[in-house]
Structure 1
Amino acid sequence: MKLFSNTINNLEQALSQSTTKQRVISNNIANVDTPNYKAQDVRFNNALSNEMQKLQANKTNNKHFVFGSTSSGYQITNRANTNYQHNGNNVDIDKEMTEMAKNQIHYNALIDRLSSKFSSLKTVIKGGN
């Protein structure tokens, strides 16, 4: 028997992803003055991974790509093709602060929705009182 709906599980996964993104952004901001530091991005691939799992491909050559998904649902990549500072650092502090604010709004919305789901469960358990 499943205790919680898929909504709660999806919210939990979204909160985990938002937390990861916040950690990466914070790390970029902390290293804004570090020489030769390359900013990182988080790429989420859940939708792509879900669709890729549906594909059935016949691998006829060892050089062919394997279809499937990563277990974590995200990938952390470096932005290595730019330099914003003379010391080789490519952290754009304005971009990072904007992304952090957007991520915080997203995180707060997820928390509000999760709280609402638990409030509904609490009402049902108490019998509507």
Structure 2
Amino acid sequence: MPSLLPHGDGRGPFDFGKAMWAKLSGWTQKAIGERTLRKKKAPAAVRLLALACAAHSSTDGRLGPFGRGLEAEALAGLCAVDSSWLGNLVKQLAAVGWLTDVSVSGTHVSGRLSDRVLALGCPIPSA
């Protein structure tokens, strides 16, 4: 994508090189192509939600920084869906065993990655 390439000064939106791009691409493919998502023929929005949850989890699998959950509007934006659909998508992820202890409120989605997919998580730094 041209908008992600480094500028003339060598700086770009991301400060990592081609090797990291390959690692990120591989991780993304593993997450959205996970066996149960493939077998259940999960729609794209559910796969994007799985990826967003994996990318925004703590080391023990809890969603959001310090396990406080993820903002519903931001999560809906990452999945390119209306926030009113989020509850249904989260239920689908819980049904295929991606999420446990799920709670969806008007503003936040909390829960944790199941033990089966915990290895696919990409822990957020604790700052």
TM-score, normalising length from structure 1?
Answer: 0.23
